[in-house]
Structure formats: structure tokens, C-alpha cells
Amino acid sequence: MLAVPASLTDPLVEFATNVVGELGLPGIFILMLVESACIPVPSEATMLFAGFNVSKGEYSLFAVTMVGSLANLVGSWVAYAVGYFGRVDILEKHGKKLHIKPSHLQWADRWFEKHGDATVFFTRMLPIIRTFISLPAGVARMPFWRFSVLTFLGCVPWVFMLTFIGQQVGERWEDWKDSLHYFDYAVAAAIVIGVVYLVVQNRRGKSRQGSSEVEPAADAAQ
């Protein structure tokens, strides 16, 4: 879920709790599926409220964790498929508009070939990135079954943690939902800092490469 002001997320939170309240486990499945398919439904609200219902004895902790994790897996398949099958379309039809070059896709391929397992597994336990990591995995054409296993294994701890917190705090689950937004902000700040760092390093690398090419040319002229 993107880190946005509470006033903007409150309607989504109310919608999520209404769906879970009316539909139960199928409602949890639907909400966690769309969240994992890059639609910003807050998993914090869904699973914390589901945990509150666990505390009332409506479902078991195991059942809610499995439903939420499997729903995340199915939703990730949707985002993965968009990246996988839309790769050529993105490059050939819209690549210039989106500033996507063939070299960018090659970089994604190399990244997921080298770090894909760790990237998919660990980012599923982080807010914000967890929602969108399936798309670049599909673009890089990471092997589907490896992607699926790592996605599910990464989803379980996150879903279990939120549900368990909701179960333990009971009616105070909304207070925890609001507190978790601060963690979202910290992750968002870390992402921005990381992107800025990579851009700066990339530009420095190009500058050094340009200088090294100029020096031999100057020597040859002499």
C-alpha cells in the first residue's frame, strides 16, 4: 500500500472492513488478490481487521493466513503476466514515451538472474514495494514456478504478522493500522534515497567513462 495521508486511505480502509465483514474469508481473498495485482487496497487494514475477527473466534489464525497468502500469490500472477506478456508491447509501442530502452530491459534481466530469488522473497515482506515487485519480475521473465514459490513464502510472514497483531490487540486494531503508516513512510523515504543514490552513481560512472575516452583521443592527437 502506498504511503499516503490517512484522509485519502480512510475510504479504502472502510471499504476493506466492509468487504471482510460481509464476505468473511472470500472477502479477504478478494481484497488481498487485488492488492497484490497493483491495486492500492491496504493490506494492513484488511489483515488487521481479519485478525480482530480471529480474536472473536470467527476464523482461525491459520485459515486467515493461508487465505491471505494464497490471494497474494494469485494477484501476483496477474501483475507478473502483465509484465511478461506486455514486455514487447511496452518496448515497441510505448518505450520512448516511458523512457524505456532495450538496455533497461537487459538490466532487469541481469538483475533478476543474479538477485531475483532474494529480491522477490524479501520485498514481499515490505510495504509499498511488495505490491509492485511482481511486475518487474514478469518483465525480466523470471522462471514462473520459482517466482511463485518465493512469492508465497515471502507473503506468509507479512500476512501472518498483520493477522497476529490484529488478533492480539483486538478492538485496538485501527490504532495499529495508523501506526504502521509511519513504517510505510520510512520505506518510501528509503526508496527515494536509494533511487537518488543509483542515479548519482550512474551519472558519475558515465562521467568517468567519458573522461577515459577523451584522454586517449588527446594522446593520439599529440
- For residue range 101-125, what is the model confidence (pLDDT) as tens digits? 666 566 667 777 777 788 888 888 7
Residue 85's pLDDT band (boundaries 50, 70, 90)?
confident
pLDDT of 82: 87
Residue 191's pLDDT band (boundaries 50, 70, 90)?
very low
Give the list of residues 6+ apart from residue 147 with CB closer than 8 angstroms, or none. Answer: 76, 80, 116, 120, 134, 137
Residue 1's pLDDT band (boundaries 50, 70, 90)?
very low
Residue 219 confidence (pLDDT) above 80 = no
CA–CA distance, 57 with 61 (Å, rounded to integer): 9
Average pLDDT, the chain: 74
Q: Which residue has the cell 513512510?
A: 185
**What letter represents residue 94's amino acid?**
H
Which of 59-73, 97-111, 180-194 is most confident?
A: 59-73
Which candidate, 182, 158, 194, places its Cα nearest to that of 3?
182
Tell me if 23 sits within 8 A of 150, measured CB to CB: no
pLDDT of 113: 76
Q: How far is CA 162 from CA 45, 109, 188, in A?
A: 9, 33, 19
Q: Which residue has the cell 543474479?
A: 114
Q: How far is CA 211 from CA 147, 179, 198, in A?
A: 41, 49, 20
pTM: 0.69
Percent of the chain residues topping a pLDDT of 90: 22
